[in-house]
Amino acid sequence: MTQNRVFNFSAGPSMLPVPVLEEVAAQMLNYEGSGMSVMEMSHRSSSYLEIFDNTKALLKKVMNIPDNYKILLLHGGATQQFSMIPLNLMKNGKADYVVTGAFSKKAAQEAAKFGDVKIAYSGADNTFKHIPTQEELELRDDASYLHLCANNTIYGTEWKYVPETNGVTIVADMSSNILSKPVNVSDFGMIYAGAQKNMGIAGLGVVIVREDLLEAHKENIPVLMEYDTMADNDSMYNTPPAFSIYVLGEVLKWIDGLGGLEVMQQRNIEKADLIYDYLDQSDFYIAHSDPANRSLMNVTFTTPNKDLDAKFIKESIALGMQNLKGHRSVGGIRASIYNAMPLEGVQTLVNFMKKFEEENK
């Protein structure tokens, strides 16, 4: 690969497109003739505001975001949203949470500090292999919102449908699958994501929220946690994570230049199918998630035992593949194959999987 780069299967922060890194490096001392790096720009300067506005406009275009949604570019990643959501959106003090993994569990625990949280479904009993069907969800008609995590990084599961909620608005954590495929934004009251998986670098939380939800928040909450204040100040109540926003803009240009989210989806299906198809015909590897809920972004599986898992990881590193070790709560192998992972990386992995199976079965 270019400049001896590895295939980085990290779950996040994770691989970025090489053209984005090249562009960022090329502009590091002098961004487009401004005489300075984007890192050095006042966030109130016209050069920076152009970057900021173009980034928002491109996100709106790429995700086809309707006009009645605001885009907020905030500090703190998705975890800051775990607090902001109940502090701002739990209008009647009640919210339903679907727990399909570690992050949705954290989100629910955080929300329970601020109101009445009902767990509409928990996958804890099945090691989070499964995404609930509509029938398995226990929803309250008077919940302020239903919260779900659209893709579960650790377990490798992904929602394939939008639940019916009888009018209750859905808030979705899309940290690990945003920009991986087209989404109908209007199906959600709010979509949010930490940027460090498919959007750029850590420290930035992207929030796409329907304007009518921006009304009254709880009283006397930290000012940076008020959605209305952030919206009124166009995410610049204080200095925003300005450089991370610039990198997001570069990632969006890359996606847009390749044809947008339909093309991303095709590429991602092609990559994921390569691994899943191999797993399905193998009686050596065991896929973790239910076939119906398989993530396009995070593929989780195990070899027949832990010693072989460890051997697999060790040998993969020697072949230029990094961060294939599964999360400690699942074990085994996890291949995170976000937008920036090239097909070549997945082919290298599958070829190695075949060879490893032959040598060790």
Q: Within positions 276 to 335, which residues make up the interface with a second copy, using CB under 8 A? A: 320, 322-323
CA dist., res. 196 & res. 16, Å (int):
9
| Neighbour tally for 22: CB within 10 Å | 13
Structure tokens at 342: 């090239």
Nearest CB to a second copy, comparing residues 42 and 266: 42
Q: Between residue 224 and residue 263, which ones bind a second copy under the rule CB under 8 A?
A: 224-225, 237-244, 247
Pairing of strands 333-336, 94-99: unpaired
CA dist., res. 348 & res. 304, Å (int):
21
Of the ranges 41-49, 61-69, 91-99, 152-160, which one interacts with a second copy (CB under 8 A)?
Answer: 41-49
Nearest CB to a second copy, comparing residues 15 and 146: 15
Residue owning tokens 């709880």: 218
Of the ranges 36-44, 122-130, 177-185, 283-291, which one interacts with a second copy (CB under 8 A)?
Answer: 36-44
Q: How far is the CB of 82 from a second copy (least distance, A)?
A: 7
Q: Between residue 9 and residue 28, which ones bind a second copy under the rule CB under 8 A?
A: 10-16, 18, 21-22, 24-26, 28
Q: Between residue 48 and residue 77, which ones bind a second copy under the rule CB under 8 A?
A: 75-77
Nearest Cα residue to 268 out of 353, 205, 176: 176
Nearest CB to a second copy, comparing residues 80 and 151: 80
Nearest CB to a second copy, comparing residues 41 and 170: 41
Residue 156 main-chain phi, psi, to 5 deg: 75, 35
Q: Between residue 103 and residue 132, which ones bind a second copy under the rule CB under 8 A?
A: 110, 113-114
Nearest CB to a second copy, comparing residues 37 and 282: 37
Which residues 6+ apart lie within 8 Å of 77 measured at CB? Answer: 175, 194, 195, 196, 202, 203, 204, 205
Nearest Cα residue to 345 out of 323, 320, 326: 320
What's at 356, amino acid-wise?
F
Q: Which of 36, 119, 137, 162 is in the footprint of a second copy by CB under 8 A?
A: 36
Concatenated DSSP letters of 112-131: TTTSEEEEEEE-GGGTT--P
Q: Between residue 186 and residue 215, which ones bind a second copy under the rule CB under 8 A?
A: 194, 196, 200-204
Q: How far is the CB of 39 from a second copy (least distance, A)?
A: 5
